[in-house]
Amino acid sequence: MKFKTTPYHFDLLKDGERISAFYEAINALENNHDLAYDLGCGSGILSFFLNPYFNKIIAIEQDVKSSICAEDNLKQFNNIHVLNEDVLTHDFSRKADLIVCEMLDTALIDEEEVPVLNHARKCLKKDGKIIPEGIINIVELASLERNYIHYDENVNCEILSNPVIYDEINFLDEINPNFEKVITLKANKNSLVNGIKITTITKLNDNLVCGPTPMLNPPLLIPLDEKNVKCNDLIKVKLKYIMGKGIGTIEANYY
């Protein structure tokens, strides 16, 4: 099937690893479910995948151009209803078997995954599921070439410590968007440290994870003051941000 898309969603559809991961997660569902919500449905590709498994799918997209594309792409399916609405103001009055929400980004900082799920989760049945199930956040000491917060897009970045899992989030749980933690990292060489690298792994279900892809959670590079460290030094970094409120909320300092 050929999909009509906006330029942004065209780039999403080109990310085969991302699309394949969500397809596999949806394909693992059992048949004959009642209702699924596709939140931030974009061009409608995930609703298209959901179609065989649900009696009704409510696909919600705030962007007008994207919702028009989704309506056109999915018009042949009587069980899919596309709504041009803000998910945060939608009245989730019907209980659902599944929520699909792909408003993902690194550490959930820049996109609205957390506020959206905190608003919509009440509509899930007791045995309801969310795709993806959650995320795992990893941090490493780094030497950066840029002294501002940026995503890792083929820039020079030398890793100077072993990776540390600093946060794991289950989307079925209420999520506090205000994150603050002191993280201890062990330097693996004598070097000059001037930043950290955050990598987010997406957990689609119990058996499927997806690492960073071109359009799914590219690693985030955050500068620190320059610091000379020796191999095996323990470096404490205080990291703070608000999920869903943007990278402007990030604060990172030595502790």
Please give the residue range of the domain that contains residue 73.
7-102
The answer to whether residue 124 sits within a structural domain is: no
- Distance from first CA to last CA of the chain, Å, rounded? 53
On average, the pLDDT of the chain sits at 95
CATH number of the CATH domain containing 58: 3.40.50.150
Categorize the per-residue pLDDT at 149 as very low, low, confident or very high, splitting at 50, 70 and 90. very high
pTM for this predicted structure? 0.95
Overall domain count for the chain: 2
Q: Of the candidates 102, 126, 143, which is a domain's last residue?
A: 102
User: Where do the DSSP E strands lie in the chain?
Assistant: 33-39, 54-60, 80-83, 96-101, 124-131, 134-144, 150-151, 157-159, 164-170, 178-186, 191-205, 208-210, 220-229, 234-242, 251-254
Torsion of Cα atoms, 215 then 81 then 126 then 25, to 10°: -40
The answer to whether residue 128 sits within a structural domain is: no
Please state the separation of Cα 105 from the chain's center in Å: 4
Tell me: do 144 and 60 sit in the same domain: no
Tell me: do 146 and 51 sit in the same domain: no
CATH number of the CATH domain containing 232: 2.70.160.11
Tell me: do 151 and 245 sit in the same domain: yes
Question: To the nearest whole percent, how much of the chain has pLDDT over 70?
Answer: 100
Residue with tokens 């987010």: 200
Predicted confidence (pLDDT) per residue in 18-75, tens digit? 999 999 999 999 888 999 999 999 999 999 999 999 999 999 999 999 999 999 999 9
Q: What whole-number distance in Å separates Cα of residue 142 and Cα of residue 161?
A: 7
Which residues are CB-neighbours of 234 under 8 A, at least 6 positions away? Answer: 184, 185, 186, 187
For residue 110, what are its two tokens?
């820049």
Tell me: do 156 and 222 sit in the same domain: yes
pLDDT at 1: 66
